[in-house]
Amino acid sequence: MAVIFGALLIQGVSPGPQLVSEQPELFWGVINSMYVGNILLLIMSIPLVGVFVRILRVPATILAPITVLITLIGVYTVGNDVFDIVLVIAFGALGYLMKKLGFEPGPLVLAFVLGSLLEDSLRRSLIIFEGDLAGFVTRPISGTLLAAFVVVALLPLVRLVLAGRTTAAPKEPAQHP
């Protein structure tokens, strides 16, 4: 979904509820392409089920290096630049470390897709507010959204602090008659 969202934004189309009414040919074209893609995938996948099962039996110690090699060859053929290979290896190592440290990849993909849109919107807003950050707080809609964001962002921290207090609270001594 993030890829489709990003592709629409790159093409200058703002995805949202108005997409169906403003550009119905694009909307139904995407829906129809998904139907056609699923049918073609089904037609191509059924005969290849045996091949897929055999690929699953290949040990990861053999399959992973082959996958990395094919990826690096593909990256090099796109731009014929060794820097692209170094970049892929660096981001692969970063992704591996993030996975080991428990970071989820989904929010990172959304950040890459939505980052430029957020930056452009922030720049436009600052131009409208003449550089005054108070405009984000004083307007009712933006102030409400900002407050909701702060609450959602701080909620896990508050829960952690409250959980720490309940476990660290001293128990009352038992009463003896």
Closest listed residue to residue 150, CA positions, set 137, 168, 161: 137
* Banded pLDDT at 177 (limits 50, 70, 90): low
Residue 142: pLDDT over 60:
yes
62 and 124, same domain (yes or no): yes
Residue 174: pLDDT over 60:
no
CA quadruple 122, 128, 133, 137: dihedral, nearest 10? -90
29 and 44, same domain (yes or no): yes
76 and 45, same domain (yes or no): no
Last residue of a domain, one of 57, 89, 104: 57
Tokens of 14: 């703002």
Query: Is 168 among the domain residues?
Result: no
Q: pLDDT exceeding 90 applies to what percent of the chain?
A: 28
pLDDT of residue 72: 94
Query: Is 36 among the domain residues?
Result: yes
Closest listed residue to residue 1, CA positions, set 21, 19, 15: 15
Count Cβ neighbours within 10 Å for each residue of 7-43 and write b for 16 or more, e otherwise: ebbeeeeebeeeeeeeeeeeeeeeeeeeeeeeeeeee
64 and 122, same domain (yes or no): yes
91 and 106, same domain (yes or no): yes
Residue 119: pLDDT over 80:
yes
Q: How far is CA 142 from the centre of its chain?
A: 24
Domains: count for the chain: 3
Query: Is 176 among the domain residues?
Result: no
* DSSP per-residue codes, 36-96: HHHHHHHHHHTTTHHHHHHHHTS-HHHHHHHHHHHHHHHHHHHH--HHHHHHHHHHHHHHH
Give CA–CA dist 114/13, Å, rounded.
Answer: 14
pTM beyond 0.85, yes or no: no
28 and 62, same domain (yes or no): no
Last residue of a domain, one of 57, 77, 95: 57
Query: Is 175 among the domain residues?
Result: no
Residue 15: pLDDT over 90:
no
pLDDT of residue 173: 59
123 and 77, same domain (yes or no): yes
CB 27 within 8 A of CB 19: yes
* Banded pLDDT at 171 (limits 50, 70, 90): low
Residue 100: pLDDT over 60:
yes
Query: Is 171 among the domain residues?
Result: no
Residue 110: pLDDT over 60:
yes
21 and 65, same domain (yes or no): no
26 and 53, same domain (yes or no): yes
Give CA–CA dist 132/139, Å, rounded.
Answer: 12
33 and 85, same domain (yes or no): no
62 and 117, same domain (yes or no): yes
The one-letter amino acid code at 105 reads P
- Which domain range does residue 151 map to? 134-163
Phi, psi of 139, deg, nearest 5 = -80, 140
Last residue of a domain, one of 12, 28, 57: 57
12 and 74, same domain (yes or no): no
What digits encode the pLDDT tens for the residues 31-80?
A: 899 999 999 999 988 988 889 899 889 898 999 899 999 999 999 999 89
pLDDT of residue 107: 82
